[in-house]
Amino acid sequence: MHCYNSIGKEYLGEVKNSIETIKTLLNMHDKKQKEFLSDEHFLKERSYEKSVPKNKEIKSTKINIKDIYKEVSSNIIDQNEQIRNILSVLVRNNMTNNPFFKSNMFLIGGTGNGKTETIKQIAKRLNIPYVLEDSSKYTQEGYVGESVENAIIKLIDACNGDISKAKRGIIIFDEIDKKTDNGDKCKVSTSSVQDSLLKIIEGTVIHTIKGTINTEFITFVFIGACENTFEERRKRLSGKGKIGFSNDDNTDNEFKNNSFISQDLINSGFKSEFVGRIDIIQEFNEMDINMATKIINESKISIFDFYIEELKKIRVNIIMDREKVVQNIAKRAISLGIGARGIRQIVVDMFKNIYSQILIEDFTISERYDLYISENLVYNNNDFTLCKKKIQN
């Protein structure tokens, strides 16, 4: 595969005065991308056929994009735009036969707000193989070429050795902003990791112990909180990051753009060569009290509702002021500062002693429990009452 710059150079070498042609091509690409990401276009009933190798026979499966969007957004709360944009990119990447139009992504936002889970849920529903890699281990161990090969090998393993599936897979590099040894944030990849990733991002043939694979159609997703990048955006929007004066309206608009731009990543420590190979920078919403409450009450994968339903299965009748309990879970989760992971930690701790007590009780088929849950169970996991009752015939 050729990267954009090499295509431009070769073309300009062969045909003089072709800049306008290339601009037209890029404008067409931007227009198609905006159209694809638009609400009206995206939310129409649409499906595409995906060929899945099975038992040496190619079986075509239809995937309904609108259904996937609804399912994922019912699990991951208040990230609808983010889900829609990521879904559209992954669908487009799997449909295109031109590597020039394949997009890599950088997902940015605080911990526990659904970045990794969004990619995983969409990939599963699209039947796209993926692997999740911890970027920090590469930095700590000083890997360069070997680290890249390990990621590719894991992707091939995830496809049970099927190279044809792996070359359309996803490699997720999580915590790309992990602290380095000297404590600087957003500089995890300033040398070894970023340099080693450049080739495979733009597309190259890699020979591994599992086989030879061309990476030109693999989607690379980089995930990080990147606090320094938020700071760089604040500087830009306040005008502190702008040097000199310009009459260029496009430049002024870029500096007023509330979304993250490539320069924000570069200013926070990422190499321009690395950032230049990332087309999509998607910010995720931070969890506030309202989002936390909705995650507990509305998510189809709510850990709180999971525990409630499991208790009901073993004939436990729950008595509580749900609104107050949920409100306290949400408040405490916000104070922990780890997003939806905080909700999970709190709920697991809340029900830990309840389950322990139920398990050690003599429990017969003719009995049930009434479980009285205090709103303060969030802060004291012993603040509950279990009453055993006979089941009336």
In degrees, rounded to 5, the angle at the alpha carbon of residue 264 between the alpha carbons of residues 269 and 9 is: 85
pLDDT given at position 213? 94
In a 10 Å sphere around its CB, with 0-12 CB exposed, 13-18 middle and 19+ buried, how is residue 363 labelled? middle
CA distance 13 to 166: 35
Neighbouring-strand partners of residue 208? 211
How far apart, in whole angstroms, are the C-alpha atoms of residue 92 and residue 38?
A: 14
What pLDDT score was predicted for residue 3? 39
Q: What is the structure's pLDDT at 160?
A: 94
Determine the 3-state secondary structure of 206 from DSSP: strand
The topology under which CATH files domain 289-390 is Helicase, Ruva Protein; domain 3 (1.10.8)
Distance CA(24)–CA(121), nearest Å, equals: 36
CB-based contact 267:300 (threshold 8 Å): no
What residues does each domain of the chain span?
A: 38-283, 289-390
Give the whole-angstrom CA distance, residue 285 versus residue 110.
Answer: 8
Position of tokens 């997003």? Answer: 339
In the structure encoding, which two tokens stand for residue 28, read together?
């067409």
Spatial CB neighbours of 358, under 8 Å, sequence gap ≥ 6: 314, 316, 369, 386
Q: What pLDDT is stored for residue 253 in this prediction?
A: 52
How far apart, in whole angstroms, are the C-alpha atoms of residue 12 and residue 8?
A: 6
In this prediction, residue 147 carries a pLDDT of: 67
What is residue 248's predicted lDDT score, i.e. its pLDDT?
52
The C-alpha R_g of the chain, in whole angstroms, comes to 25
CATH (one of 3.40.50.1980, 3.90.1150.10, 3.40.50.970, 3.40.50.300) for 38-283: 3.40.50.300
* Selection from 195, 193, 162, 166 nearest residue 180 by Cα: 193
Q: Quote the pLDDT of residue 361.
A: 76
Flag residues of the chain having pLDDT under 50. 1-26, 28-30, 32-45, 51-60, 139-145, 179-183, 185-189, 243-247, 251
- Are 38-283 and 289-390 equal in CATH topology? no
Q: What is the pLDDT of residues 321-342, one digit of tens each?
A: 999 999 999 999 999 999 999 9
